[in-house]
Structure 1
């Protein structure tokens, strides 16, 4: 079922060209759109001409406002998780992850998630609604502001790996990223944006034809339909054969696919799984990111033993398949992969 773009009343969900069109429609010189766009996205306001000032007078909700309900800093000193309140009292979580000289914002695209992955806290919540473009952009804007204020650095990377399935909310996600990557605003380089999916095939195919060079990350976690279906129920709708075909098409058109593999003790961390994964990805330009399972209240599985993680990685590398182990950040504050939910404590 196609997903339509939910219109946002706030102006900060509009691309620069759309903002120009809005000004033209209302009889304001579109030459002022760039300055207005910069103010909406960064808070930096220059001098506005009188016609634009009059146009702005009395307009409520120019920008999407997020209420910071809680802010939790990890013991690692580099990771901060935010619980944001939205206009309808819904709540989402976003994460700021810092590395020396590089700061990354992990953004949500939905309240909850409809994909139902059993080891994911967001999937355990169920689905409430899509976020609109302004609500996604507002997260990026807030995380960028805090990066500058607290660390004196620019936010340079975005990963759409927070709450929700980004490709299930394709139009609003693409709209928000067009805004966030515009050089007149936050100026995130499109090549520094990564979009994660559990295998939403229609979205993958649309992303393959999208002109922006965003990266694709596919959460795989299983090498046959039965075992993957137990972890990721949506696999019953979009089975592995169709998913890998979509990944091949994306790879042929856009380049490398990042494959996420969550290693669960006694479930998918054996050497046999590593060898089968090599065969599954044969012919796809892929890089495997190994993720020891992060704990959630709704799933009893445990993270794989470190020795098995290393053995799994070595098998992939020996077969010529690039593989890294994701650096764990923010696990103590439930800010890691698969841990985001709308908790207040």
Structure 2
């Protein structure tokens, strides 16, 4: 059997593996052992599976492959942030980031090679979407960052955000499969409450997700609650208008009782006026929420500028007066282009 014809073993369930071993005259529990090597121990080759006989490992190598990721290049920021250029089995590259804080470490993971959407302020949006990541490729990013967290910060990974390259809801099945594996006792066993899926806003999928009663968090990259303004900076908004998004986040809360977080950058001359604040306050009435005001991270050849401190303070003052929780998120890893909106595979281009 040629290597290109080998089956990806991580596409098989535990039951599939048990059935395979029975079919070749082995005990079913061998499937449990292999499953543990793949998902809990992160084995990259069958030779690592030392509780299997050499003959059995060779048999697996003949019939299967493990399409694991590899860190092609790692960069460390002066603030401790780690950025990984991750090479996939087909040679394509995505980026993921480890973000340290005093009491936690967060993995920012990618879900697509490139992006399906066209946000004008985001470097990733300039990349052609090549393909969706498989669930195991998403999972592997988390495994790598967990190891880095233990190595560099002496603690396990505590949080995961789907805020890397790509639009997670445009790769919904694989993102959900990855989260299932990340939260499963058979995988990393992380609490779903420590996972945030961030979307630019795909109303139909938000509603679908809500129907599945997930326990992870939802964040929406909003940036403007005025239709014309949002469409000018996020052109796909003409397909997924604010009216539909508003109804979707309301439905999300109705089904999950989990408040949504709005990610919001304030730019000079774009959304820094009183009318922008009033529109956001009105949008926040759709469902219980909180607002993260994010520092803008310039991209090469970009046309956007961070708004003045007074404009940001004006947002904070009005949001707090309306009883809405608001935080200001300072960017990490800007010196290595690892901050929000900067992931663009520059180092591997």
- Cα gap change, 1:272/1:153 in structure 2, threshold over 3 Å: closer, same or farther? same
Aligned residue for 1:310?
313
State whether structure 2 residue 336 is matched by structure 1 residue 333: yes
The residue correspondences of 1:167-246 to structure 2 (distance < 5 A) are 167-246=169-248
Match of 2:78 among 65, 75, 79: 75
Deviation at 1:146, TM superposition (A): 1.5
Q: Paired residue for 2:45?
A: none
Within 1, Cα distance between the matches of 2:221 and 2:324?
16
Which residue of 121, 126, 140 corresponds with 1:124? 126
Contact 2:219–2:262 under 8 Å retained in 1: yes
Question: Cα distance, 1:276 vs. partner?
Answer: 1.7
The equivalent of 1:150 in structure 2 is: 152
- What pairs with 1:4-83 in structure 2 (closer than 5 Å)? 9-12=7-10, 18-27=13-22, 29-43=27-41, 48=51, 56-62=60-66, 64-77=67-80, 79-83=81-85
Cα 1:285–1:35 change in 2 (3 A) is farther
Check the 8 A contact 1:37/1:185 in 2, yes or no: no
Q: What does 1:220-299 correspond to in 2, within 5 Å?
A: 220-254=222-256, 255-299=258-302
Asked which structure has the greater CA Rg, the reply is 2
Shift of 1:272: 2.8
Equivalences, count = 333
2:130 aligned counterpart, secondary structure: strand
- Worse-superposed segment, 47-56 or 293-302: 47-56
Deviations 1:31-63 (CA, angstroms, capped at 9, x unpaired): 44444333213437786365975763534423x
Distance 1:184 1:256, change over 3 A: same
Write out per-residue CA displacement over residues 135-172 of structure 1, whole angstroms, 9 at most, x where no aligned residue.
11111111111112222211121111100000000001
Q: Over residues 193-243 of structure 1, what are the superposed CA-to-partner deviations in whole Å (9 max), with x where a residue is unaligned?
A: 110111112221121022431111111111222111111111111100011
Question: d(CA) in 2 for partners of 1:223 and 1:340?
Answer: 25
Using a 3 Å threshold, how does the CA distance of structure 1 residues 155 and 59 change in structure 2: closer, same or farther?
farther
Distance 1:35 1:271, change over 3 A: farther
Match of 1:89, SS?
A: coil
Give how far 1:270 is off: 2.5
Aligned mates of 2:205, 2:301 — CA distance in 1: 28
Q: CA 1:21/1:269 → structure 2, altered by over 3 Å: closer, same or farther?
A: same
Structure 2: distance between partners of 1:219 and 1:192? 19
> Which is further off, 19-28 or 263-272?
19-28
Q: Distance in 1 between matches of 2:28 and 2:222?
A: 46
Compare 43-52 and 202-211 and name the one that shifted more.
43-52
Q: Is the 8 A contact 2:113 2:133 kept in 1?
A: yes
Change (3 A) 1:184 1:106: same
> Does the 8 Å CA contact 2:10/2:136 hold for their aligned counterparts?
yes
SS of residue matched to 2:245: helix
Structure 2 counterpart SS, 1:113 = coil
CA RMSD of aligned residues (A): 2.2
Paired residues of 1:136 and 1:173 also in contact (CA < 8 A): yes
Q: 1:132 to 1:260 in 2, by over 3 A?
A: same
Q: Matched residue of 2:184: which SS? A: coil
Structure 2 Cα separation of the partners of residues 188 and 83 of structure 1: 24
- Secondary structure at the aligned position of 1:104 is classed as strand
Moved more, 45-54 or 112-121: 45-54
Q: 1:296 to 1:53 in 2, by over 3 A?
A: same
Unmatched runs of 5 consecutive residues or more in structure 2? 1-5, 43-47
Q: Does 2:314 align with 1:319?
A: no
- Normalising by structure 1, report the TM-score: 0.90
Unaligned 5+ segments in structure 1 are 1-7
Cα pair distance change 1:128/1:326, threshold 3 Å = same
TM-score w.r.t. length of structure 2: 0.89
